[in-house]
Chains A and B, each alone.
Chain A
Amino acid sequence: MTDDPTKEATDERQLIERSVEGESSAFGRLYDRYLEKIYRFVFFKVGHREEAEDLTQQVFTSAWENIQGFREQGLPISSWLYKIARNRIIDHYRTKKTHTPLERIPEEIAHLTEDMEDMDKKILLERIYTSLHTLTDEQQEIIVLRFIEEFSHKEIAAAMDKQEVAVRVLQHRAIKNLKKTLEDQLAQHD
């Protein structure tokens, strides 16, 4: 990734064009760029590594098979990939018979916090993870895309098929609800 957003956008456009023409190495570079983001997004939804890997694989396989149908509309390919991911997650929950309880702390989060010396931060991180799952699906997605992946409102709007104004409103409510849930948890423990 470069620091110059214009150069990065141009580079990405070229990678997309070459991928559309069937150049697998170009798609490989797009994969490298978005794998972790898509994986995280899916992981926050399903809370389970194997399931997240399986769905991530489906997302990129589908993207590669349908790249010829992708028409750039001034937005990065990320919005398109997130749309595919959202649809795959919806299909996943539609067909899945048993649900992983999202309230528990998954191995990944535990692994993430095990080396933390600041206990307050560690506890906060785990509470934020569990609190995220008390939000609505849209609020949860907004939190992940905006504050973890640092997407622009425009990108989020494109990924979620919403107006930018609606995304801002949704974001405001999401962070407010998350804060309230965390405060309620702290009050219970105190």
Chain B
Amino acid sequence: MTERDIKNTLKEFKNIVPTESFARRLRMELLSKENRVRPVAELVNVHAIGPGAVRSLSPFARPMNALAFAVAGILVIMGVYTITRELSPLFLPGLNQRAMSAEAAAIEREIDIQLSHIDYFQQTSTESSVALKQVTEKNLDHLNEALIKNEAASFEEPATPESIDAQLDEMLKAVIE
């Protein structure tokens, strides 16, 4: 007997097959099972770890454990908040929101003041130009020296009651005649 004989004879064992009824039943059974993604809790092999171990792993098994779990949770949340805040590209150690707002308000006020100054300068400039134009158009009459002197004389020699009476008499005579 050679090894080849043995190997050839071994191939005969391929004719060992499960019964058709078994193959069909198992197929139906498998395909009828919904294969969902199982939660982590189901993946924990309770029999392998031991029910006691699983119970002790539960954070709510005892009140003290629950409290410790809650504190740990809060610390983790705070830690995550701090870390993410510091790792943020917008995070600046000297950044103070209130100070930034006050500074922005002061800058705004300063800008308003400067704008009001600009308005004032613009208004005076317009008035000046109008005045200059008027002066130019009136040929500087008001600067005539003789005229100014006459006006000044009229202010200096007010009409007296005697002169007014004489003027009235002359006017009445003229009316009578």
Contacts and interface: CB of A to CB of B under 8 A. Distances in A.
Contact of A147 (B7, B19, B33): B7
Secondary structure at the A interface, as helix, strand, loop or mixed, is helix
Interface string B74-96: 00000000000000000000000
B36 A148 contact: no
A36 B18 contact: yes
A179 B15 contact: no
Nearest to B32: A24
Interface in A36-61: 36, 39-40, 43-44, 49, 52-53, 56-57, 60-61
B12 A60 contact: no
Given A31-B30, A64-B33, A183 B1 contact: yes
B13 interface: yes
B104 interface: no
A55 B18 CA distance: 12
Contact of B13 (A40, A52, A182): A40
Contacts of A102: none
A124 B9 CA distance: 8
A112 B15 contact: yes
Interface in A10-55: 22, 24-25, 27-28, 31-32, 35-36, 39-40, 43-44, 49, 52-53
A28 B27 contact: yes
Contacts of B5: 124
A121 B5 CA distance: 10
Nearest to B10: A147
Interface string B4-40: 0111011111111111001100110111011111100
Interface of A: 22, 24-25, 27-28, 31-32, 35-36, 39-40, 43-44, 49, 52-53, 56-57, 60-61, 64-65, 67-68, 108-109, 112, 121, 124-125, 128-129, 143-144, 147-148, 175, 178-179, 182-183, 186
22 contacts: A22-B36, A24-B30, A32-B27, A35-B18, A35-B26, A53-B19, A56-B18, A60-B30, A61-B29, A61-B33, A65-B38, A68-B35, A108-B16, A109-B16, A125-B13, A128-B10, A147-B7, A148-B10, A148-B13, A178-B6, A179-B1, A186-B1
